[in-house]
A and B are shown apart, each in its own frame.
Chain A
Amino acid sequence: MLLDFENGRHLAIGLLPELILTVWAMLLVLHAAWRHKDPGAQRETGWLALVGVVLAAGATIWLWRSGAHIDGIATSVALDGFRWALTLIILVGVGLTTVLAIGYLDREGIAVPEYHAMVLFAAVGMLFMVSGADLLVIFLGLETMSVSIYVLAGINRRSAFSAEAALKYVLIGAFASAFLLYGIALLYGATGTTKIELLGVQSAHVLPGLTLLFRAGLALLFVGFAFKVAAVPFHMWAPDVYDGAPTPVTALMAATVKTAAFGAFARILLQGLDADQAHWAGVIWWLAAVTMIVGNLLALAQRSLKRMLAYSSVAHAGYLLAALIPGSPAGAGAFLYYLLFYTLATVGAFAVLVARGRGGERDVVTDDLAGLAESDPALAAIMAICMLSLLGFPGTAGFIGKWYILATATGGGVTTIAVIMVLTSLVSAGYYMPVIMAMYMKPRLHAQSHADTVLPGVMRGVLIAAMLGVIAFGIWPGNALTMARSASRVFMSQNITSVATPTPYPPGHP
């Protein structure tokens, strides 16, 4: 299906998932206002929000399958497999956290039906971030998402920690946005465009080397994104914000917000700046290395499970950055595969935390899970699979993801980062394995210690399905790998202007 964005109807088709979610979110706001007195309103809004997510996902799949594309002129919105894949990953994350939130808000007595509308608005922002082929669209998406997440982080009005988290997130977020915007402005000054594709052409051909303006713009852009994905040394806000926010929001931030920011970043690097890979590879190399090392070491030092997961998500940002260093399309494929299963495992782990938490997830330490395997084998198995997948253990999809990144790095000639990655993964065994150890090998603290550890049936069913997926794609990753590779193919054809040294690309790729 060939779309022409001059035509309004075609534009609407190209933006169908975003439009569906926007309209749906607005309707949900109205619905929430209408039913505000009703205590069941929150649940109802939640399920309705889920319907919206499913519709948007359906539209995405339809667009992907119908092969929607545009003529070779650089537009503001991309129509490619990379966008569809990321959109679906984000929608999976949003859907899972919504199911989790329905039960959570009910239990914690946070009767705010608007929560689900805000999540949908955040999702719209995320979708725009991954669909933007123009820096301004990406920025708009980022702001839409961020403002919604600020609200969500502070949605528990009775909790001082929640308020603290929201305030910190607003301040740091505003900072990061300012960096990003300034970077975009400087890049526009240097190249005369904000369109990602043209940026690539300009930087490769028109400019004789990189001008100071361009470099400065790039630096600011990198800082902005490093803040958003919580890469060290721009990660300081993450643990406090993740810790204070209501746990479903934390899951949303750790999984999907990161996916969206990374998606936009990857598109800019691989589509717009691929010719300058030699210039930015060193920066990303250091960012990735430091993030992996510091993230993992700090996670190792945590006692609270929630903070441990927060720092572990910082570490995962490092792994994802490593996939970008070679600047090859294979990196994009690795990236997609990793993000999907990272999302599943992260949300799964937070869901178990919610089940154990009951009003104080912040205080749950690893040993609070002791003996869970005996009182609730299914829940313990879910958590164990999540931990193994996050650790990247063979047999889980997390391993294939990590292996794909390692292959990208080794094939791209950055073996050192691959070594750092495996060594830091080893450190992560030091904090993922004790969780399994507590659940399976330690006795319960007292007979009733898991009496109130409950995960609602729906969430349990969804998670069990997700974990079966994690295992199945860990053993037969073939189809998913093929999809990830085909989704990243978009970054291949752009190379007409590329002057970079040819990156060896793994086999089988057409």
Chain B
Amino acid sequence: MSHFLTGINFDHWILSALLLIPLAGAVLLMVLPARLARSVALVTTLVELVISLGMWVQFDPSVRHMAFEYQRAWIGVYGITFHVGADGISLMMVLLTTVLMPLAVLGSWVGITTRERGFYGMLLVLTTGMIGVFVALDLFLFYMFWEVMLIPMYFIIGIWGGKARLYATLKFFIYTMVGSLLMLVAILYLYFSAGRLGGGYSFDFTFILSHLPRLPLGTQMWLFGAFALAFAIKVPIFPFHTWLPDAHTEAPTAGSVILAGILLKMGTYGFIRFAIPLFPAVAFHPWVSKLVIALAVIGIVYGALVALVQPDFKRLVAYSSVSHLGFVMLGLWALTVQGTQGALLVMINHGISTGALFLLIGMLYERRHSRLIADFGGIAAVMPAFAALLTFVSLSSVGLPGTNGFIGEFLVLLGSFQTHPAAAAIATSAVIFAAAYLLWALKRILYGPLTSDENRHLTDLTGREYAILAPLVALILWLGFYPQPVLRRTEPSVKAYLNWVNYQRALPLPTVVERPAAENDGGGR
């Protein structure tokens, strides 16, 4: 297999193909009749999945530099290139995307009945945007993907969403833009300072990393702040999370799956790939470090507590995301191999489990047109298969040993306990809260007496719905019992990342502010 793939020069074109195929699918959608839209989208995303599996086979963990690298000129005058590549971290994120996308399409199979072409077209454009974010190695290219991805999501929530969709989608849009625009200025600042140092200007990430200017801590703080704000809103870290419950709740099923499963990971991925390696001295400055860890722990506990009292099941899962992503941040700031590996696993697991939860809620919603926990009760009697799967997925989200959720959170706690024992101790309590909010919700939805007459005639899962859930269940079990293949692929990348961060942190920083003559801020004179 590997031989065959090498023979067809797979490594060279795979990432470009992953970016182009969804766009081609979207164009095809526009010219075909609307009733074919969902089939085209399904085929396109399945093709993506199949060829992306080749990356899993081809990826060689022993190689330290980026795999699947491809670079060509784009906007020459500014040193902007189309530069893509993937290490173990990117690889997992890309695979998460390609696995979830066909399921998101299948999850919308009957739920989306208006303007199908637009909907599936948006899903495909979104696929390109998300994969682009995970593989871009040029800051300009990264920024383009990061922003362009906003538009399809904006439409998906705004056109096919729930009752308060307009409010939710504008909030989502504005929040995301707040962060990313400041990041644009920071990118430009880096471009010029790295260019002055490197004797030529380029947005290429490897160029900027190798000519990382030794800026004074104060300047670095601002730059890190600009990057971190963009990513923190996306993650979301505690005080920036308020867009999330609205967007997740109002989005259609596919939108929620993608938001929770993939989009949030773009924030944490941004920290691992860009914000931390570019400014390690700031990221792990004692104050910044304390602040991030405090916010992460607040997010973990607060998300879980708020989830406990949500009357709307979808909103409950949305708040649980705040809690889970707090674990990721905690793991990243532990700055240990276990912590970072655990953070990556939580990112993957959260994508799978929460994606599955949103798909299950979508199935229930299509039957009953309600997401309120109070409207249900005792439906395990009429939908036994649904009840079994919902229970199973919930337990994986809670982190039951033997499911994927356990191993990630365990590694995070293990890693962070070495460096931040108090934070780890508080975070552990959230595992109990997680069990409380999900199991209590399950009790109210699935068990007890069947009170409402409307629930008496609910039908159990269909073949299509089994097909959606089967791969997710398989992944939950596989990662729960044998996460080694994933860890093996991410470990070298994680170690390289930690080496870089520790090496950079140890370097002394200039204390005197070196101001080039032309650098005035123009104001106040």
A57-65, A157-165, A208-216, A474-482 - the one binding chain B: A474-482
Q: A440 and B155: CB pair below 8 A?
A: yes
A121-129, A231-239, A301-309, A499-507 - the one binding chain B: A499-507
| A 230-269 to B, binary, CB cutoff 8 A, 1 in contact else 0 | 0000000000000000000000000000000000000000
Q: Which residue on chain A has the smallest CB distance to residue B524?
A: A282
User: Would A419 and B182 be within 8 Å (CB), given that A440-B158, A504-B192 are in contact?
Assistant: yes
| A 487-510 to B, binary, CB cutoff 8 A, 1 in contact else 0 | 000000000000001111011110
Q: A413 and B78: CB pair below 8 A?
A: no
User: Would A426 and B177 be within 8 Å (CB), given that A394-B143, A442-B166, A507-B201 are in contact?
Assistant: yes
A16-24, A168-176, A427-435 - the one binding chain B: A427-435
Q: Does A13 contact B (CB under 8 A)?
A: no
Q: B525 and A477: CB pair below 8 A?
A: no
- Minimum CB–CB distance from B84 to chain A (whole Å) comes to 16
- Minimum CB–CB distance from A238 to chain B (whole Å) comes to 25
User: Would A478 and B143 be within 8 Å (CB), given that A437-B169, A441-B159 are in contact?
Assistant: no
Q: Which residue on chain B has the smallest CB distance to residue A482?
A: B77
Q: A393 and B523: CB pair below 8 A?
A: no
Q: B166 and A441: CB pair below 8 A?
A: yes
Q: Does B521 contact A (CB under 8 A)?
A: yes
User: Would A504 and B188 be within 8 Å (CB), given that A393-B147, A412-B518 are in contact?
Assistant: no
- Minimum CB–CB distance from A476 to chain B (whole Å) comes to 8
Question: For window 387-403 of chain A, which residues contact chain B by CB distance below 8 Å?
Answer: 388, 393-395, 399, 403
Q: Does B151 contact A (CB under 8 A)?
A: yes
Q: B188 and A410: CB pair below 8 A?
A: yes
Q: A503 and B518: CB pair below 8 A?
A: yes
Q: B147 and A422: CB pair below 8 A?
A: no
Among B170, B196, B200: residue with most chain A CB under 10 A: B170
Q: Does B184 contact A (CB under 8 A)?
A: yes
Q: B144 and A395: CB pair below 8 A?
A: yes
Question: For window 376-430 of chain A, which residues contact chain B by CB distance below 8 Å?
Answer: 388, 393-395, 399, 403, 406-407, 410-419, 422-423, 425-426, 429-430
Q: Please, how many angstroms separate the alpha-carbon atoms of A353 and B188 in the complex? A: 36
Q: A506 and B144: CB pair below 8 A?
A: no
User: Would A478 and B76 be within 8 Å (CB), given that A406-B188, A410-B185, A437-B158 are in contact?
Assistant: yes
Residues of A close to B166: CB separation below 8 A: 437, 441-442
Q: A416 and B155: CB pair below 8 A?
A: no
Q: Which residue on chain B has the smallest CB distance to residue A475?
A: B144
Q: Which residue on chain A has the smallest CB distance to residue B140?
A: A403
Q: A395 and B148: CB pair below 8 A?
A: yes
Q: Which of B177, B192, B200, B522 contacts A325 (CB 8 A)?
A: B522
Q: Which residue on chain B has the smallest CB distance to residue A388?
A: B151
Q: Does B213 contact A (CB under 8 A)?
A: no
**Helix, strand, loop or mixed for chain A's interface?**
helix
Q: Does B181 contact A (CB under 8 A)?
A: yes
Q: B523 and A429: CB pair below 8 A?
A: no
- Minimum CB–CB distance from B83 to chain A (whole Å) comes to 16
Q: Does B173 contact A (CB under 8 A)?
A: yes
- Minimum CB–CB distance from A285 to chain B (whole Å) comes to 4
Q: Does A135 contact B (CB under 8 A)?
A: no
- Minimum CB–CB distance from A494 to chain B (whole Å) comes to 18
Q: Does B74 contact A (CB under 8 A)?
A: yes
Q: B148 and A504: CB pair below 8 A?
A: no
Q: Does B265 contact A (CB under 8 A)?
A: no
Q: A413 and B158: CB pair below 8 A?
A: no
Residues of A close to B521: CB separation below 8 A: 413-417
User: Would A415 and B189 be within 8 Å (CB), given that A422-B182, A501-B518 are in contact?
Assistant: yes
Residues of B close to A485: CB separation below 8 A: 77
Q: Does A182 contact B (CB under 8 A)?
A: no
Q: Does B514 contact A (CB under 8 A)?
A: no
Residues of B close to A425: CB separation below 8 A: 181
Q: Does A289 contact B (CB under 8 A)?
A: yes
| B 143-175 to A, binary, CB cutoff 8 A, 1 in contact else 0 | 110011001001100110000011001100110
- Minimum CB–CB distance from A255 to chain B (whole Å) comes to 25
Q: A508 and B78: CB pair below 8 A?
A: yes
User: Would A394 and B148 be within 8 Å (CB), given that A504-B196, A507-B79 are in contact?
Assistant: yes
Q: Does A140 contact B (CB under 8 A)?
A: no
Q: Please, how many angstroms separate the alpha-carbon atoms of A326 and B201 in the complex? A: 19
Q: A507 and B523: CB pair below 8 A?
A: no
Q: B158 and A418: CB pair below 8 A?
A: no
Q: Please, how many angstroms separate the alpha-carbon atoms of A506 and B288 in the complex? A: 33
Q: Please, how many angstroms separate the alpha-carbon atoms of A403 and B203 in the complex? A: 13
Residues of A close to B173: CB separation below 8 A: 429, 433
- Minimum CB–CB distance from B356 to chain A (whole Å) comes to 28
Residues of B close to A481: CB separation below 8 A: 75, 77-78
Q: Does B520 contact A (CB under 8 A)?
A: yes
Q: A441 and B169: CB pair below 8 A?
A: yes
Q: Does B178 contact A (CB under 8 A)?
A: yes
- Minimum CB–CB distance from B201 to chain A (whole Å) comes to 4
| B 87-107 to A, binary, CB cutoff 8 A, 1 in contact else 0 | 000000000000000000000
Residues of A close to B184: CB separation below 8 A: 403, 406, 422
Q: B522 and A414: CB pair below 8 A?
A: yes
- Minimum CB–CB distance from B199 to chain A (whole Å) comes to 10
Q: B195 and A507: CB pair below 8 A?
A: yes
Among B155, B185, B189: residue with most chain A CB under 10 A: B185
Question: For window 187-228 of chain B, which residues contact chain A by CB distance below 8 Å?
Answer: 188-189, 191-192, 195-196, 200-202
Q: B165 and A416: CB pair below 8 A?
A: no
Q: Which residue on chain A has the smallest CB distance to residue B188?
A: A410
- Minimum CB–CB distance from A417 to chain B (whole Å) comes to 6
Q: Please, how many angstroms separate the alpha-carbon atoms of A477 and B75 in the complex? A: 7
- Minimum CB–CB distance from A428 to chain B (whole Å) comes to 10
Among A403, A482, A507: residue with most chain B CB under 10 A: A507
Residues of A close to B151: CB separation below 8 A: 388, 393, 395
Residues of A close to B158: CB separation below 8 A: 437, 440-441
Q: Which of A417, A422, A509 contacts B181 (CB 8 A)?
A: A422
Residues of A close to B201: CB separation below 8 A: 506-508
Q: Please, how many angstroms separate the alpha-carbon atoms of A286 and B523 in the complex? A: 7
Q: Which residue on chain B has the smallest CB distance to residue A414?
A: B522
Q: Does A92 contact B (CB under 8 A)?
A: no
Q: Does B517 contact A (CB under 8 A)?
A: yes
- Minimum CB–CB distance from B87 to chain A (whole Å) comes to 25
- Minimum CB–CB distance from A227 to chain B (whole Å) comes to 22
Q: B76 and A508: CB pair below 8 A?
A: yes
- Minimum CB–CB distance from A56 to chain B (whole Å) comes to 29
Q: Please, how many angstroms separate the alpha-carbon atoms of A482 and B165 in the complex? A: 43
Q: B170 and A413: CB pair below 8 A?
A: no
Residues of A close to B170: CB separation below 8 A: 433-434, 437
Residues of A close to B517: CB separation below 8 A: 501-502
Residues of B close to A477: CB separation below 8 A: 75
Q: Which residue on chain B has the smallest CB distance to residue A416?
A: B521
User: Would A410 and B522 be within 8 Å (CB), given that A423-B181, A437-B170, A508-B76 are in contact?
Assistant: no
Q: A414 and B169: CB pair below 8 A?
A: no
Residues of A close to B520: CB separation below 8 A: 281, 413-414
Closest 9 CB pairs of A and B: A413-B519, A507-B201, A422-B181, A508-B77, A285-B522, A441-B158, A410-B188, A394-B147, A282-B525
- Point out residues on A near B: beta carbons under 8 Å: 281-282, 285-286, 289, 325-326, 388, 393-395, 399, 403, 406-407, 410-419, 422-423, 425-426, 429-430, 433-434, 437, 440-442, 476-478, 481-482, 485, 501-504, 506-509
> With contacts A442-B166, A507-B202 known, what are 9 further pairs, Cβ within 8 A?
A394-B144, A394-B147, A410-B188, A410-B192, A426-B177, A433-B173, A433-B174, A478-B74, A507-B79
- Point out residues on B near A: beta carbons under 8 Å: 74-79, 143-144, 147-148, 151, 154-155, 158-159, 165-166, 169-170, 173-174, 177-178, 181-182, 184-185, 188-189, 191-192, 195-196, 200-202, 516-525
Give me 26 A-to-B residue pairs in the complex whose CB atoms sit less than 8 angstroms apart, sorted by A's number: A282-B523, A285-B522, A285-B523, A395-B144, A403-B188, A406-B185, A410-B185, A412-B518, A413-B518, A414-B522, A417-B521, A423-B181, A426-B178, A429-B177, A437-B158, A437-B169, A441-B158, A441-B165, A441-B169, A481-B75, A481-B77, A481-B78, A504-B518, A506-B78, A507-B78, A508-B79
